[in-house]
Structure 1
Amino acid sequence: MIFEKGYATQRGSQCILGCLENYLVYRKIDISEAELFFRMKGYELKPSKWGVMIYTISIFENPEDLDVPYIIITSANREEAKQSLIKCVEDESNVAILMVANKLKYNSAFKYAEDVVIHCVNVIGYDGGDKFFFSDGYIASFKGDMFEGYIAFDDFVDAWEGYNFMHVITDTDKLAEDGYENFKPDLREISKKQKDNNKILKDYFVSNLKNAEALLNTDEYEKSIMSLNSYIRLSGLLTVRSYFREYMEQYFPQTGLAVEYADICKEWNVISCLLIKAAYSDDASEIEDISGRIESVFAKESEIIDRMAKLHYE
């Protein structure tokens, strides 16, 4: 099995792309997470079946549009799912499973993942009984934790069933044959998409902060604020911005765009900390301050991305 053959979990910037990148590293295929991000249209913000907008779900919608060689398998029941996963592991397939994050327990970061619930891990081993070997290269905690080790089937099956026992097998050899060296993203399209996304996200945050303010001095207030903080980390918001920054560093190194955009990333970490503080303070002025900062950071980001797109076509 793969976990016995030199596979080592690498820290990723996002769970789904990180899963694929870990298999690429294991197979000695030189394609970066950032390249995968643009090729797989990870910048698209779409509604999930739980009623919130997230980035990462778009990667597993309409696979024919993504030009990435993988197949998706779902199972009818727990036993069928278990046997299918055992076969994938024993065949040493590049298999990853998608789960409902707030039903996972091996890291406390999943605790508040009520609204944004997708998490993805590679499964690279099986003990012949009831445990599977997980490779989780990105847990959306404050520091971005990792996990590698055995998990009992009963400890993750509820989370997996919440996403229809979905498991994904990627053909990394075909991915390498297709080549990424000539792939260039359409920055005009991406700039427009990101500005549209920013408006949607801004409205989401401002509306939910207003709703949270109405819950001040109630038992639901802390939960509503902490759910927003989890949304920042689990929706893909921070990850998408890290890939944009990396792209600016690589292709526009002399323009200062990457430095400006790094401030956007830092501001979201500040906002996250302020949300945690606000959750325990019951101070309405703190919510108003956070709301203003969110509106400002989205406006600044849209302006930077617009300049990047214009520079690209000069």
Structure 2
Amino acid sequence: MDSESVLPLLRPIKILQFQDRRMRSLLRGFNSERAILLRDFVTYQGIQCYIVCFQNYLRNAGVDIDEYEIFFLGNGFVTCYEKKLQNESVELFLRSYINESVDVFCKEYNLEYIKYKDIENSEAEELIENCISRNIPVILRIDAGCINYNAAFKNAYGLGFSHYVIVLNRSENGFLVSDGYVPTVPASIFQGEFESGQLRQARNARNNVCIIIPKEQLLQFQNSWNRDEMTDRVVQAINASILSFLTGGTIQNSYYGVRAMEAWISDLPFLHDYYEERFTEKMYDLYKKIRMRGFIGSRYLLNKAVGYLSEHKSIFGKQIVTDLQQVTRSWDMFGMSLLKIGIAKRKNDLVSLAQRANEIYGNELDTYNRILKYV
């Protein structure tokens, strides 16, 4: 199959990436008027940390936008499955294009942001200080395992997972940060103090990535964005995303859409053979991956989009919303089953686990086909 004809392509984005030491001169040209008032910053609940940082950045600049719009207009609803041999161990990756959707969205809608990476701690700190003095929020990529303001992150220590927050201001012992997605059950938010040393450690562990949106770019985007006019585009994007999923495809060792689901489910009975003596550890790792790399998050974002469009635009019926919520909850519970089987080392349960996955997948396909009838 020629997958390029059916798979969404990620278009490159021209992100300005600075690695020099002229932070002050770069910031000096920013218009200090039309500032986001960081003292009045509101943290809105989200589903994925990276996208919700952009949502909250834009909302606090006066743009009426939701993370699901960024996600679908950025072509993020892609299910990709890869099986790789790493260090003599089989690694399974089931994910969606969560973070990539932000890049594609920004390229499509002319929202340039500046990304600093691989800079020294002192340079990152100078950048942050200069930005908050000018009411410019800074998005930081940090190591999830270094976060201590909520116990939900403690299990991420040493796993190398990234998390994104927005730095708003200095505080007594560190910095005031905004976190629109804390992975509690149910998910929650955090807006409060992150101690300086802990934040420095968390930031440095993920290459000191700092992201800002120049105020001129915010103003241009605010003037061009009209949420009501974008509704048709979002509906079309949902339609295209589901069609692409149902068509599926394969590129070398990467599987997409229905092909990804079929390949992943067919591998589930063999997880004990893949993982052997590391079975418990790797089952936990697999659980974290499907949650943190967008597979489950993308389903929740589809729920959010369809729910909003059904309630406010009367595009989808209530039954579709209910059935879609049930499919997503089922995948969520499936993830918990991965954990339980891993802890109990019940390898004989892997066949029934695959059967359960196939059942949920069948319901998902049925729901997606009914969604297409509405659009």
Offset at residue 28 of structure 1 (A): 4.1
SS at 1:151 equivalent: strand
Paired residue for 1:85, among 106, 124, 128? 128
Once the two structures are superposed, residues 160-214 of structure 1 have per-residue CA deviations (whole angstroms, 9 ceiling, x without a partner) of 3344322222344333222232221334421133343443255346536623455
Q: Which moved more, 1:157-166 or 1:279-288?
A: 157-166
Q: C-alpha distance in 1, partners of 2:364/2:294?
A: 16
Q: C-alpha distance in 1, partners of 2:141/2:264?
A: 25
Change (3 A) 1:208 1:114: farther
Aligned pairs for 1:147-186 (under 5 A) are 147-170=190-213, 171-179=217-225, 180-183=227-230, 184-185=233-234, 186=236
Q: Is residue 33 from structure 1 mapped to residue 50 from structure 2 by the alignment?
A: no
Q: Is residue 17 from structure 1 mapped to residue 33 from structure 2 by the alignment?
A: no
The one-letter code of the counterpart of 1:256 is Q
Offset at residue 127 of structure 1 (A): 3.6
Q: C-alpha distance in 2, partners of 1:209/1:106?
A: 38
Q: Is the 8 A contact 2:268 2:353 kept in 1?
A: no
Structure 2, unmatched stretches of 5+, are 1-34, 249-255
Once the two structures are superposed, residues 14-71 of structure 1 have per-residue CA deviations (whole angstroms, 9 ceiling, x without a partner) of 21222233334434432223223223333245799x9844432213545663325131
Q: Is residue 5 from structure 1 mapped to residue 39 from structure 2 by the alignment?
A: yes
Q: Is residue 42 from structure 1 mapped to residue 93 from structure 2 by the alignment?
A: no
Aligned pairs for 1:117-266 (under 5 A) are 117-127=161-171, 131-170=174-213, 171-179=217-225, 180-183=227-230, 184-185=233-234, 186=236, 187-195=238-246, 196=248, 197-198=256-257, 199-200=259-260, 203-204=263-264, 207=267, 210-212=270-272, 215=275, 218=277, 220-249=278-307, 250-251=309-310, 252-254=315-317, 256-266=319-329
Offset at residue 263 of structure 1 (A): 1.2
The one-letter code of the counterpart of 2:169 is G
Change (3 A) 1:241 1:10: same
Q: C-alpha distance in 1, partners of 2:189/2:294?
A: 17
Change (3 A) 1:115 1:235: farther
Q: Which moved more, 1:2-11 or 1:86-95?
A: 2-11
* Number of matched pairs: 308
Matched residue, 1:270: 333
The one-letter code of the counterpart of 2:207 is N
SS at 2:207 equivalent: coil
Identity of aligned residues (%): 17
RMSD: 3.3
Matched residue, 2:138: 95
The one-letter code of the counterpart of 1:223 is E
Structure 1 length-normalised TM = 0.82
Once the two structures are superposed, residues 135-173 of structure 1 have per-residue CA deviations (whole angstroms, 9 ceiling, x without a partner) of 111022332132222223432334433443222223443
Q: C-alpha distance in 2, partners of 1:309/1:114?
A: 42
Q: C-alpha distance in 1, partners of 2:97/2:158?
A: 16
Q: Is the 8 A contact 2:38 2:137 kept in 1?
A: no
Q: Is the 8 A contact 2:316 2:374 kept in 1?
A: no
Matched residue, 2:23: none
The one-letter code of the counterpart of 1:269 is D
Q: Is the 8 A contact 2:138 2:167 kept in 1?
A: yes
Q: Is the 8 A contact 2:68 2:304 kept in 1?
A: yes
SS at 1:5 equivalent: helix
Q: Is the 8 A contact 1:3 1:124 kept in 2?
A: no
Q: Is the 8 A contact 2:73 2:105 kept in 1?
A: no
Q: Is the 8 A contact 1:101 1:119 kept in 2?
A: yes
Q: C-alpha distance in 1, partners of 2:61/2:336?
A: 38
Q: Is the 8 A contact 2:177 2:193 kept in 1?
A: yes
Offset at residue 91 of structure 1 (A): 1.5
The one-letter code of the counterpart of 2:121 is R
Structure 2 length-normalised TM = 0.70
